[in-house]
Amino acid sequence: MRGIYSNKTKVRHDVFKEVARMAFEGGDFSRIDELPYKLVPGEVGKNYDNIFLERAIIGERLRATIGLPIRNITEHSMLSDGIDQSAIEEKYYNPPLINIIKFACHACPEKRTFVTNACQGCIEHPCREVCPRGAISMVNGKSVIDEEKCINCGKCINACPYNAIVRQERPCAKACGMNAIKSDEFGRADIDYSQCVSCGMCLVSCPFSAIVDKSQIFQTCLALKSDVPIYAAVAPSFISQFGAAGDEEHLRGALKAVGFEDMVEVAIGADLCAIQEAEDFLKEVPENLPFMGTSCCPAWSVMAKTQFPEYANCISMTLTPMVLTARMIKEQHPDAKVVFIGPCAAKKLEASRRTVRSAVDFVLTFEEMSGIFDAKGIKFDEVESGGKLQASSADAKGFAVSGGVAKAVTNVIKQMDPDREVKVVSAEGLAECKKMMMLAKAGKYNGYLLEGMACPGGCVGGAGVLSDVKKASTELEKAKEASSLKSSTETNFSSYLKFITEE
């Protein structure tokens, strides 16, 4: 769970740190075979009774972090198989991005309603009376549900005066707004990749950490060791992700200490994105398009385009803030590489698209970047300040929370056409985004601007964040209030380009 430091968080962090350390140290990378023994020493496991199982799970996490595929457990192969092919700076993700370590999955029930020990065996037994299928009977004075008859309607749950009946659902499937989590022949979770949009919500929801995403930590660290200048393009949601000491100036200093040339705010690309989407909306809606959807969340836009192909042209074609910012950097530094650092798993796949590769070389989550900081021994309360960044607008910073993108775009529209009334509807979470598109398809949102965010809360609730969503949202509001620029139209892009060049 995001915002809570748990055993799961520690396992992920330790794997990220060790892979980063191995890349920085160089040498024979086949020593990855030794890392499970370093991370799980001794004879007794930390999180499992079976230490061999725990080391095997760590091994697959290490492979995914290097960008290697999860191994087929029916065949013998070394943990280090393929690592030399991944030890290159130009490594992109080989699909699938989101993977399930099958022997780490506990084959949780897909969905079931059952009676707990809290049942008092009351004589009224309203649970039995309201059941439409007669699935509940009294056995030894307690209610018992026949799972073959039960349709999980929930009526018995609502009727029980003791809250003794609960519905249990597989956490990863419950979090998946695309209904992409199924079961294999052994009852373990399985991903339908024709439905998956790599939002990563299943990853953060699995309490056993059986779901992993591939990473570019290894390749990024190798690039940082080279003579090529590397720029960090940091998403607006960075605020509060690295603790109280990880403010803008100290984050910039920490990134420079790791080896980055400099840090650039992706919020500057958000300002540009807001202006372009406002122009498109005024030009296209309703004359050519019934409505327009925002473009910045890749998981939302992929869902909308694939699930509602007849309305694919209604999703804005404006480049995302990540790409716009990266292109601005490359315009000033053509030989440099750009690392996007943000909250999002889906950005990894966006960056691997052929049209985006030339702009964005690597994508890391805040969680992965934390592992790199630790591998280099960076402490925020000791690092020198990197100095303030050129200001982006408050509206651009607001791209990180649900409703923020639409607010930024509508504020620009009001300045371009004060008489134009813009109706907005926002949805967070892919299940709600689907509902929004279904209503738009039915004609309920003609003339509207639609904002979709795959993650609950917006980007601050992404799969790769470290901070609690509410806390991050609160800190973001403080940063917006402190911004000297309010609307995206106030940003001086020429000045920002000059800033990047000078730095």
**E strand or H helix at 177:** none
**Going by C-beta distance under 8 Å and a sequence separation of 6 or more, which residues neighbour residue 492?**
none
Confidence band, pLDDT 50/70/90 cuts, at residue 89: low
Q: Quick one: average pLDDT of 30-38?
A: 96
Residue 244 has pLDDT above 90, yes or no: no
What span, in angstroms and rounded, lies between the C-alpha atoms of 163 and 198? 36
Question: Does the bond joining 96 to the residue before it have cis omega, within 30 degrees of 0?
Answer: yes
111-169 belongs to which CATH class? alpha beta
Q: What pLDDT was estimated at residue 246?
A: 78
Residue 500 pLDDT exceeds 60 = no
pLDDT single digits (tens) 259-303: 999 999 999 999 999 999 999 999 999 999 999 999 999 999 999
- Measure the CA angle with vertex 230, ends 224 and 214; round to 5°: 65
* E strands present in 220-344: 230-234, 262-265, 292-293, 337-342
pLDDT over 70 at 223, yes or no: yes
What ranges do the domains of the chain cover? 7-105+175-218, 111-169, 228-502
Q: Cβ distance 84 to 35 under 8 Å?
A: no
pLDDT of residue 502: 58
CA-nearest of 219, 202, 199 to 211 is 202
- Rounded Cα distance between 198 and 430, Å, is 11
Task: Report residue 499's pLDDT band, with 50, 70 and 90 as the boundaries.
Answer: low
Domains 111-169 and 228-502 share a fold: no
State the burial class of residue 4 (Cβ atoms within 10 Å of its Cβ: 0-12, 13-18, 19+). Answer: exposed
Q: What is the predicted pLDDT for the residue at 501?
A: 58
Between CA 214 and CA 500 the distance in angstroms is: 31
What is the CATH code for 228-502?
Answer: 3.40.950.10
Q: How confident is the model at residue 3 (pLDDT cuts 50, 70, 90)?
A: low
For 188-215, write each residue's pLDDT tens digit.
999 999 999 999 999 999 999 999 999 9
What percentage of the chain exceeds 90 in pLDDT? 84
The span from the CA of 219 to the CA of 371, in Å, is 14
Spatial distance between the Cα atoms of 39 and 58, rounded to a whole number of angstroms: 8
pLDDT, tens digit, 9 for 90 and up, residues 302-325: 999 999 999 999 999 999 999 999
Greater pLDDT, 88 or 438: 438
Q: Is the per-residue pLDDT at 129 higher than 90?
A: yes
Mean pLDDT of the 481-491 span: 92
Average per-residue pLDDT for the chain: 93
Q: In what order do the strands lie in the sheet with 292-293?
A: 292-293, 448-453, 423-428
What digits encode the pLDDT tens for the residues 61-81? 999 999 999 998 888 899 999
Contacts of 245 (CB under 8 A, 6+ apart): 380, 381
Q: Which of 283, 235, 300, 297 is nearest to 472 (CA)?
A: 235
Q: Taking the mean position of all CA atoms in its chain, how far away is CA 163?
A: 34
Report whether 388 contacts 394 (CB < 8 A).
Answer: no
Decide if 109 contacts 188 (C-beta within 8 A).
no
Contacts of 373-376 with C-beta under 8 Å, sequence gap 24+, read 373/242, 373/254, 373/258, 374/13, 374/17, 374/20, 375/17, 375/18, 375/20, 375/21, 375/24, 375/221, 376/20, 376/24, 376/257, 376/258
Assess whether pLDDT exceeds 80 at residue 496.
Answer: no
- Whole-number Å distance between alpha carbons of 498 and 265: 14
Tokens of 166: 């609960």
Alpha-carbon distance of 343 to 8, in angstroms, equals: 18
Residue type, 35: L
Hey, how many other C-beta atoms are within 10 angstroms of the C-beta on 353?
12
Confidence of residue 56 (pLDDT cuts 50, 70, 90): very high
Amino acid residing at 33: D
